[in-house]
Amino acid sequence: MNIAKPAVPPLPPELIEKFRAIVGAKYAVTDAADIEPYVTEERDLFHGRSPLVLRPGSTAEVAAICKLASEHRIALVPQGGNTGLVGGQTPHNGEVVVSLRRLDKIRDIDVESNTMTCEAGVVLQIAQQKAAEVDRLFPLSLGAEGSCTIGGNLSTNAGGTAALAYGVAREMAIGLEVVLADGRVLNALSKLKKDNTGYDLRNLFIGAEGTLGIITAATLKLFPRPRAIETAYVGLKSPAAALKLLSISRNEAAGALTSFELLADIAVDFSIRHGIDIRDPLTSKHPWYVLMELSSSRDDARDTLEAILAKGMEDGIVDDAVIAANLSQRQAFWKLRDEMSAAQKPEGGSIKHDISVPVAAVPAFIESANAAVVKLIPGSRPVPFGHLGDGNIHYNVSQPVGADAADFLARWHDVNAVVFEIVLRMGGSISAEHGIGVLKRDELPDVKDKVAIELMRSIKAMLDPQGIMNPGKVL
């Protein structure tokens, strides 16, 4: 998907040399082949261009880049692991890319305070591992955790599969270090749980997608590491049945319920068909599935999970279920879930939605959206799956079998319109955890409170008066 915007003026060679002097020749990338991985993304949906990729190795270098860019009105696009799904990390119009991957240090782990301070380029999986090494848990978990970075997670306010129990990225960050557009550094890397000294500036930058400043480090919350994790894969008849099982699970497990994923049979079929070493955990097929997980500091998680499933069967909600017998089986359950997005690609064009509605409205949303989408494009295949526990459904639509992918994808905004109308009617959001970027930018003014849009524009104008920070994204 190419974004038609006015071209950014060419970057003069003398400015390239000034930027190069900040990071060093080795970390200023100008070769077109070397730049290519920074201007495309995994889904091949967005294609950008850039004359220069800068790979700073410190906050001071990021600050110097922003200061120079501000002086010469050079547009910058911050980038972490380049795993974003809405085009927010792509230089669509020739901007300079600022890759944060070299800012990869864990600055501090404080077990007593239950905090970890790490730089923006730390890969999420590394953060998880470093927490585990000191017998702590950093619970943010998502499919791209092997390549996405902490800075990107915070800039997009990532959600993931454990948001039900631990919240989204915003709730896991206590403090931030941010470089502003003019090169000033906001140092708010506090470990304090209580700090009422004025406005909470941290939350301005979390979820802002790099449009207000560049996050260079963060102080993150750690949690006690669970002693017992139990995982079940459940077959049932409908999202309504899954909702009833969720209610039972919450009543029985309380805070121990950490994940509750709803999976349509078509999504499971795609994963099994196109994934590697993925099989159906159950012996018979079901219209819907739930992947649920309990985590506990005690040894009662297994008993609790068995009690939940027994009640579900007794009430006619659960048709079949299997509990992971070991770590390998648990990983196999999650691999089936994690491969669902990638498994849609071999099926042709896929129109993606990352929506949320009130949890109780999820069954009605799926029913209404399925009917509306198939009516709009006969033969299209809705592939809903996601985080039922917090109302966040990845409502994807695969093309009709044998259809032309380009023709199908050309209906992207038509499909958006019918899906978003249902979402808004139900009091939901058109972006639950992926962000706005450019993919949903044009729809945002129509779905966001008008005063909220005005305030967002005012904040953007104050912090980035020249409009150099990730221009054209979000607003």
For 373-390, the pLDDT digits (tens) are 999 999 999 999 999 999
Give the mean pLDDT of the chain: 94
Degrees to nearest 5, angle at CA 157 with 220 and 128: 40
> By C-alpha distance, which of 215, 137, 138 is closest to 178?
215
Q: First vs last Cα of the chain: how many Å apart?
A: 18
Domains of the chain and CATH, by start: 13-99 (3.30.43.10), 106-224 (3.30.465.10), 228-426 (3.30.70.2190)
pLDDT interval class at 104 (50, 70, 90) = very high
Q: Residue 42's pLDDT band (boundaries 50, 70, 90)?
A: confident
Q: How many CA atoms lie within 13 A of 345 on its CB side?
A: 9
H helices of 94-208, in order, are 124-133, 150-155, 163-166, 169-172, 202-205
pLDDT of residue 255: 85
- For residue 465, is pLDDT > 90? yes
Which residue in the block uniquely carries the two structure tokens 């071209």?
Answer: 7
Stretch 428-438: mean pLDDT, rounded?
Answer: 92
DSSP 453: H
Q: What is the pLDDT of residue 300?
A: 86
Confidence bin at 9 (pLDDT 50/70/90)? low
Span 196-211, average pLDDT? 94
The pLDDT value recorded for residue 8 is 58
363 pLDDT band (50/70/90 cuts)?
Answer: very high
Query: How many angstroms separate the CA atoms of 439 and 474, rounded?
Result: 9
Task: Name the pairing type of β-strands 53-54 and 28-29.
Answer: antiparallel
Task: Express as a percent the part of the chain with pLDDT over 90.
Answer: 89
In sequence order, what DSSP letters do the residues of 242-283 get, joined into one string? HHHHHHHHHHHHGGGEEEEEEEEHHHHHHHHHHSSS---SSS
Mean predicted confidence (pLDDT) in 189-195: 90
Per residue in 252-295, pLDDT (tens digit) is: 998 899 999 999 999 999 999 998 999 999 999 999 999 999 99
- Residue 76 C-alpha from the chain's centroid: 22
In this structure, the chain runs to a length of 475
Structural tokens at position 253: 């497990």
CB distance 56 to 22 below 8 Å: yes
CB 219 within 8 A of CB 304: no
pLDDT (0 to 100) of residue 337: 95
Which tokens is 3 given?
Answer: 């974004």
> Does 1 score more than 70 pLDDT?
no
118-158 pLDDT, tens per residue? 999 999 999 999 999 999 999 999 888 999 999 999 999 99
> Cα Rg for the chain, rounded, in angstroms?
23
Q: Which of 24-28, 179-183, 435-439 has the lowest mean pLDDT?
A: 435-439
CB-based contact 221:190 (threshold 8 Å): no
pLDDT at site 85: 86
At residue 39, the pLDDT reads 95
Q: What is the pLDDT of residue 408?
A: 97
- Using the Cα atoms of residue 15, residue 6, residue 2 and residue 357 in order, give the sign of their dihedral: positive
Rounding to the nearest 10 degrees, give the CA dihedral for residues 37, 440, 178, 50. Answer: 30
Q: Please give the pLDDT value at position 319.
A: 98
Least reliable range by pLDDT among 37-51, 328-342, 453-467: 37-51
| Cβ 156 vs Cβ 208: under 8 Å | no
How far is 238 from 391, CA to CA, in rounded Å? 15
Token pair for 437: 């970027």
